[in-house]
Structure 1
Amino acid sequence: MTGLFISFEGVDGVGKTTQVERLRDYLEAAGREVVVTREPGGTALGGSLRQLLLREPGDAAEADGADIAPRAEALIFAADRAQHVAEVVRPALERGAVVITDRYLDSSLAYQAGGRELTADDVRGLSMWATGGLMPVRTYLLDMDPTAAHRRLQHDADRMESAGDEFQQRTRQAFLDLAGHEPGRFRVIDAAWPIEAVWERIKADVDAVLADAAADERAAAQAAAAQAAVTKESDGNTPAGGAR
């Protein structure tokens, strides 16, 4: 069975965690192995990098008032992503699991290139190099006004979450621009809808993705069987000792 890579994106507070958990439960009930992960922080190394990047209230670095230069931030995110893909994502996909990640490359593009005014090509190139070009087959962008989303948060805001309204609005628009450029991969869902309505939209699309993947597997198996039959027939028609 072929592995499947799915990502969830959006500004903080849009309900990604809730929908990731629902999708995990749904797929596991259908008999699939599911690996749920996140960025930053999907590995032991990533956990240390996450603390450095987000500096939640009470952290020593946060108390010191130290800031991270935009290029340094991009490199740290890329290091986290490289380890995440090598240690978690690729091995799971290779054994046929469904990998669901809360944030991936698009968050770097939106938060760093969109929200922090770095060059999108630089951020994309760095992340594509770090991951060997691995991209999700489907990305669910849960879209919502950042001010309303921020009110949903049930924890103290981290460094990214407390970056200000203008930054959050730029980031939201950057996500929407990314979705507009890759409509085949993205599905934009209004996160202001009730939780159940959001889930039903995701579920219907996931069912379609799974059906397409199954059809592709059947087609590949049929093609392989046909090629094997041709090879066998060709071998049977070859005179013993080879052609003279």
Structure 2
Amino acid sequence: MARGFFITLEGGEGAGKSTQARLLAASFARAGLPVLATREPGGTAEAERLRALLLDPALTWTPLAETLLHGAARAEHVAKVIRPARDGGTHVVCDRFADSTLAYQGYGQGCDLQAIATLAGVIDLRPDLTLVLDLAPAVSRARLAARGAGADRYERLGAAFFARVREGFRAIADADPERCVVIPADDEEARIAARIVEAVRARLGLSL
């Protein structure tokens, strides 16, 4: 049985990753292709527990501790959900993956980039395609303010942090152009979704 493709969506806060991951998974389903939509941190009961700790605004973590917690959640997610689904022929669409750890804890919070890369190497799963939703920090903050809901711990960090995260994602995409496609995220939802589908078609040869 041919394995499925593993596709990740990345980007800063308010870029629309969760919405676009859901729309992309729906495109797979409409095309009759087996698909699993999941997210990070999360995807298993254990990883969802860690997600709650990581996003809790009442808690503080050192950058290294955050990195290790994300790694623990990812190890569970990959072993129990992503790899079995992909190896069984199901396409996996994931809202965030290892690039977020590199951008947020590395570029954003100053954790050693090589340490993060080493952890990613231990988990050892490379996406077939990564869609980086690029959004200016000012637009990101405006979208977060418009939500009107309580901000999680990352959403409360300042403008300088968001700028570093954006530059981190750009650096990741520049360093790995065969895997990454940058998608401007300041457009209408439907147009962004169409660009994503086109990128999946062009890069992976799928008929969506």
Name the TM tier (shorter chain): over 0.9
Shift of 1:127: 2.2
Which residue is equivalent to 2:89?
96
Shift of 1:212: 7.1
Structure showing greater Rg? 1
Shift of 1:147: 2.3
Question: RMSD of the TM alignment (CA)?
Answer: 1.5
Q: Distance in 1 between matches of 2:206 and 2:93?
A: 18
Q: Which runs of 4+ in 1 moved over 4 A?
A: none
Match status 1:157 vs 2:151: yes
Shift of 1:29: 1.1
> Secondary structure of 2:205's match?
helix
Shift of 1:3: 0.8
Which residue is equivalent to 2:45?
44
Would you say the 8 A contact 2:10–2:133 is kept in 1? Answer: yes
Match status 1:24 vs 2:25: yes
Q: Which letter maps to 1:100?
A: V
> Secondary structure of 1:22's match?
helix
- After TM superposition, the score normalised by the length of structure 2 is 0.93
Match status 1:186 vs 2:177: no
State the Cα deviation string for residues 189-210 of structure 1 (Å, max 9, x = none).
1101221221111111212234
Q: Distance in 1 between matches of 2:63 and 2:10?
A: 21
Q: Distance in 2 between matches of 1:27 and 1:209?
A: 15
State the Cα deviation string for residues 41-87 of structure 1 (Å, max 9, x = none).
1110011101111105xxxxx1xxx4212211111110000000001
Q: Distance in 1 between matches of 2:204 and 2:176?
A: 20
Q: Unaligned 5+ residue runs, structure 1?
A: 57-61, 214-244
- After TM superposition, the score normalised by the length of structure 1 is 0.80
The number of residue pairs the alignment matches comes to 203
Q: Unaligned 5+ residue runs, structure 2?
A: none
Which residue is equivalent to 1:105?
98
Shift of 1:143: 0.3
Q: Percent of aligned positions with the same letter in both sequences?
A: 40
Would you say the 8 A contact 1:81–1:127 is kept in 2? Answer: no
Q: Which letter maps to 1:173?
A: E
